[in-house]
Amino acid sequence: MSGLAGGIESAPRALLVLADGAVFEGEAAGWSPPGGVASGEVVFNTVMSGYQEVLTDPSYAGQVVAFTYPHIGNYGASPADDESSRPRCRGLIAREIAARPSSWRSTESLSSFLERHRIPAMTGVDTRRLARHVRSEGSMPCAFGAAPEDVLARRAAEEPGTLGVDLVSEVTTPSPYTLGEGPLRLVVFDYGVKSRMLSYLGRIAEVEVVPAGTPASDVLARRPDGVFLSNGPGDPAALGHLVAEIKALIGHMPMFGICLGHQLLALALGATTYKLPFGHHGGNHPVKRLSSGTVEITSQNHNYAVADDLPSGVEVTHLNLNDGVVEGMRCEEARLFSVQYHPEAGPGPHDAEYMFEELRFAMQARS
């Protein structure tokens, strides 16, 4: 059976080989990489729609995304759904990619989108078995493509994954740029910021987006009303140079961090981070807001988390109801707060949009 709905039956046979030796059969799709081999750290995502937002989220740098929903690409692709200028993931794994999208918004098929952005893919995979394996054994390096199994096995063994790797340097902006309008001024550290985040922030302030490694002294010289720490890929423990700059800014103005920004802020406060067995990747994670007891359904994408060892004066504000992971924190004295999930909902539910209003209130109180 072809992995393309209504597609060509003669698609090249392909294999997905995990670092632990597990092998999955399928067919090659998308862009054909040199030598017929692509590699990265395999993770699974449970969203039923929003695949383009997932693929263009810079937080997936270094990773191969396997979608558990069996039919991907139904509504094609549209520039309006891009979260960055191009996908940063290493590849896509799916059960089936629709060959004929149906949507008035669509400008191309998902297959065309993958080929244009040079993203290799694999279809016809038993993604249920793959997800169960990753849940059991954890996220791990992999290799896939039309190359022989022994070649793929060697590449999977050589792939470093994300542990201890600085991936932010691959996705951050090379130079500052400005967007938005308003009486407030906000500096955004770009660790892999998404377009939807900037859209929300641009409604409340004039936003200056700066490279990840911008010194704290340069930020202070800009005299902003607040600082935003964006999402991004990889292991926060490998980013000590970025943590040092955040630490130098604490107490000077309100700060809000999301995802990787949340993790880096926690490290700057003296907490620790760790790698989750298989991460949180999906649009349906229940998170409890401890101040009200409200349960929010959230969009999430992270393989690392903040340990429950926050220092005195820093309180946990949100918890993941699936596994108890710390999903938010706050320090009133230092005027900072952060969440692990994605309140900008790209893709996903909009339950947590209020977090951007909290940033606006904090900045207004300072100005």
Q: Dig out the tokens for 205 from the structure.
A: 């302030």
Centre a 10 Å sphere on the Cβ of residue 274 and count the other Cβ atoms it contains. 13
Residue 121 to residue 38: CA distance in whole angstroms: 9
Residue 245 to residue 219: CA distance in whole angstroms: 10
Structural contact between residues 321 and 286, judged by C-beta atoms closer than 8 angstroms: yes
Which residues are 207's β-sheet partners?
179, 186
Residues contacting residue 31 through CB under 8 Å, at least 6 positions apart: 114, 115, 117, 118, 119, 120, 121
Tell me the catalytic residues.
Answer: 259, 342, 344
| Helix 354-366 with 195-204: angle, nearest 10 deg | 40
The helix/strand/coil state of 359 is: helix
Which residues are 274's β-sheet partners?
305
For 43, phi then psi, to 5°, come to -135, 155
The helix/strand/coil state of 35 is: helix
Residue 298 to residue 290: CA distance in whole angstroms: 15
Quick one: which of 28, 66, 45, 64 has its CA closest to 155? 64
Helix intervals (H) in 56-121: 110-116
Q: Which amino acid, one-letter code, is at 192? A: G
